[in-house]
């Protein structure tokens, strides 16, 4: 891991080295390497910089001020617009003093109420004054931040999304083989744990709990936090399966209504945990009314929350087949997010297609054949007869090997 460098580092170096024309927005789920990549980029460009995080204790941004100006500290819970304004003012001063400019990095910015409006005002002032202050803002809930971005920062930022790590990344950084990736998923922080119990504990406490107990609740109102957890756990159990909201209601306690479940599922997808794929129909209206196909965005959640060890999962064809399909779905969803490739499923009266990729005028039906997931070609045949412009792709037996499929992004397979 010491020699591994995230692919986004080079992009960060380029953007932070340029004259400040745009804010750099770095988003992605927890533990995907955002902060590490930004710090590495700062080392490479060698510009003076300041890093602050809205979710860390202490207030290093107000220590050792050269002007001797006494500024009050802002403890956790009071990181508001005033806190952000004071930090920005200090960074402006440093940028003015530096011949090469200055970089301000604000991590977990979504925790600052009204952050987008404050950033808009400060950034616009800097552009009018010709300040050489470069700014990178990091957040762990990209889709939840889109509303604020759309309302306040249109045309002012360039986005650099991070996703859960892919099979090539986990292989390059930690030597994961294919089966290890399928079970343990793309969690760089957990890769060092060889003891299964420590690994599970890390995934639960460092990835699952902070998101459910804090991240989502900090950004939007949740009337039933316990239900949010239940929806996630049900999604993990049924990853790779089509499950109607009415059936989900029957499995959950105090579930409320289908509208609440749909909203919670959208929130879980926005923080990189669980997606609800919609049925492809060629009609947006019909698609939105369909029952979702649940799919984790990182198979580590399945391994950590299940009763199966790695060896037990490999020995059970049914369990392993579901894991493989979930790994393929997570790969398509994560990489599709980066290049605007939409991912669906399809179901006819008596058959189904595991995944459907749509990118521009390209349409591809993807069928998985692994373990207990061996199916006839009926689903592909029926889909192709209904959507004649589509192409088909089989992953697994007699098709593209899983190891090869996971090497290329969703856009590549959509355009084959």
Quote the pLDDT of residue 371: 54
Quote the pLDDT of residue 76: 47
CA distance 136 to 352: 44
CA distance 333 to 275: 8
Tokens 């710090």 belong to which residue? 39
The answer to whether the beta carbons of residues 206 and 30 sit under 8 Å apart is yes
Which stretches of 84-233 are assigned E, i.e. beta strand? 102-107, 133-139, 157-161
The DSSP symbol for 121 reads: H
The answer to whether the beta carbons of residues 13 and 45 sit under 8 Å apart is yes
Domain architecture of the chain: domains with CATH: 8-161 (3.40.50.300), 167-414 (no CATH)
Query: Which H/E stretch holds residue 90?
Result: helix 81-97
The whole-number mean pLDDT for each consecutive block of 10 residues of the chain, a chain of 416 residues, reads 84 94 92 93 92 72 40 54 92 93 92 88 95 93 64 84 96 96 95 90 91 77 84 94 86 78 90 94 65 96 93 94 96 94 92 95 92 65 93 92 97 94
> pLDDT by residue (tens digit) across 351-379?
899 999 999 999 999 999 875 455 566 88
Other CB atoms within a 10 A radius of the CB of residue 125 amount to 12
What are the φ and ψ backbone dihedral angles of 97, each rounded to 5 degrees? -80, -20
Quote the pLDDT of residue 143: 60
Dihedral (C-alpha) 274, 275, 276, 281: value to the nearest 10 degrees? -170
For residue 294, what are its two tokens?
């649940």
Quote the pLDDT of residue 81: 87
Other CB atoms within a 10 A radius of the CB of residue 391 amount to 16
| Euclidean distance between the first and the last CA atom of the chain, given in angstroms as a whole number | 33
Quote the pLDDT of residue 63: 41
Quote the pLDDT of residue 376: 60
Quote the pLDDT of residue 313: 94
Sign of the torsion angle spanned by Cα atoms 347, 348, 351, 356: negative
Quote the pLDDT of residue 68: 37
Ordered DSSP codes for 202-220: HIIIIIIHHIIIIIHHHHS
pTM, two decimal places: 0.89
CA atoms within 13 A on the CB side of 331: 29
CA distance 341 to 363: 10
Mean pLDDT of the chain: 87
Q: For the chain, what percentages of helix, strand and coil (3-state, to nearest 5) are there?
A: 50, 15, 35
């Amino acid at each position: 891991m010491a020699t591994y460098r995230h692919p986004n580092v080079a992009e960060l170096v380029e953007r932070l080295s340029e004259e400040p024309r745009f804010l750099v927005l770095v988003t992605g789920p927890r533990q995907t390497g955002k902060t590490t990549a930004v710090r590495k980029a700062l080392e490479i460009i060698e510009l003076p910089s300041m890093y602050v995080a809205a979710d860390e204790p202490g207030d290093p941004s107000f220590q050792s001020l050269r002007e001797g100006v006494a500024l009050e500290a802002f403890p956790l819970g009071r990181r508001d617009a005033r806190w952000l304004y004071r930090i920005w003012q200090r960074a402006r001063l440093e940028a003015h003093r530096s011949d090469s400019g200055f970089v301000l990095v604000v991590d977990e910015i979504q925790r600052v109420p009204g952050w987008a409006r404050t950033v808009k005002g400060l950034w616009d002032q800097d552009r009018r004054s010709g300040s050489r202050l470069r700014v990178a803002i990091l957040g762990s809930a990209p889709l939840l931040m889109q509303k604020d971005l759309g309302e306040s920062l249109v045309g002012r930022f360039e986005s650099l999304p991070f996703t859960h790590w892919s099979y090539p990344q986990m292989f390059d950084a930690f030597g994961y083989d294919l089966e290890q990736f399928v079970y343990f998923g793309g969690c760089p922080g957990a890769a060092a744990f060889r003891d299964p119990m420590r690994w599970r504990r890390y995934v639960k406490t460092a990835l699952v709990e902070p998101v459910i107990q804090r991240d989502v609740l900090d950004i939007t109102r949740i009337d039933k936090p316990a239900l949010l957890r239940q929806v996630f756990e049900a999604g993990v159990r049924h990853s790779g399966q089509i499950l109607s909201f009415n059936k989900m209601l029957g499995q959950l306690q105090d579930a409320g209504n289908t509208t609440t479940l749909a909203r919670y599922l959208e929130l879980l997808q926005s923080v990189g945990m669980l997606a609800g794929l919609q049925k492809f129909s060629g009609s947006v209206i019909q698609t939105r009314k369909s029952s979702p196909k649940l799919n984790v965005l990182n198979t580590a959640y399945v391994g950590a929350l299940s009763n199966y060890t790695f060896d037990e999962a490999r020995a059970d064809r049914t369990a392993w087949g579901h894991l493989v399909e979930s790994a393929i779905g997570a790969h398509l969803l994560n990489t599709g997010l980066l290049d605007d490739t939409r991912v669906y499923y399809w179901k006819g009266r008596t058959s189904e297609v595991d995944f459907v990729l749509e990118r521009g005028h390209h349409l591809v039906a993807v069928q998985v054949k692994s373990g207990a997931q061996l199916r006839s070609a009926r689903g592909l045949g029926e889909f192709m007869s209904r959507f004649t412009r589509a192409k088909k792709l089989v992953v697994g037996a007699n098709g593209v090997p899983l190891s090869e499929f996971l090497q290329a992004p969703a856009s590549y397979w959509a355009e084959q």
